[in-house]
Structure 1
């Protein structure tokens, strides 16, 4: 299934850890990106801009292959 704007997703820990993005910044990712649903609000190329959770948390650009559909 291709991820598109409006989809509910979460980050895949195995694909995000040790990635180029993890090496370029703080590799300690907050647990909410793996545990709560995020909504894809924008897309550019191989990246999706994801808004996580109902409480105020930072939005994040993540590679599409680092995301999976959120299933509750």
Structure 2
């Protein structure tokens, strides 16, 4: 999975991996539905993380590569 995700990739968030993550436990874990129901585009990667912009009127966000699935 993570090997396929690179800059410019269209991705979706894997619900099970995000909901059970350290990041979810450290913050509000009520994630908006667009994370799981729509595609996002990887704008940048750094280490184990990707900056993803979703095609909705919200700011992009950093997510771990293992929480993403290429579309």
User: Runs of at least 4 residues of structure 1 off by over 3 A?
Assistant: none
Report the structure, 1 or 2, having the larger helix content: 2
Higher relative contact order (CA 8 A, sep 6+): 2
Secondary structure at the counterpart of residue 29 of structure 1: coil
* Aligned residue number for residue 69 of structure 1: 70
Partner Cα separation in structure 2 for residue 22 and residue 37 of structure 1: 20
* Aligned residue number for residue 51 of structure 2: 49
Partner Cα separation in structure 2 for residue 20 and residue 43 of structure 1: 19
Q: Do the aligned residues in 1 keep the contact of 2:50 with 2:65 (CA within 8 Å)?
A: yes
1:9-66 CA-partner distances (Å, limit 9, x unpaired): 010001101200101111111110111110000111000000001x311211000000
| TM-score where L is the length of structure 1 | 0.89
Residue correspondence of structure 1 range 21-32 to structure 2 within 5 A: 21-32=23-34
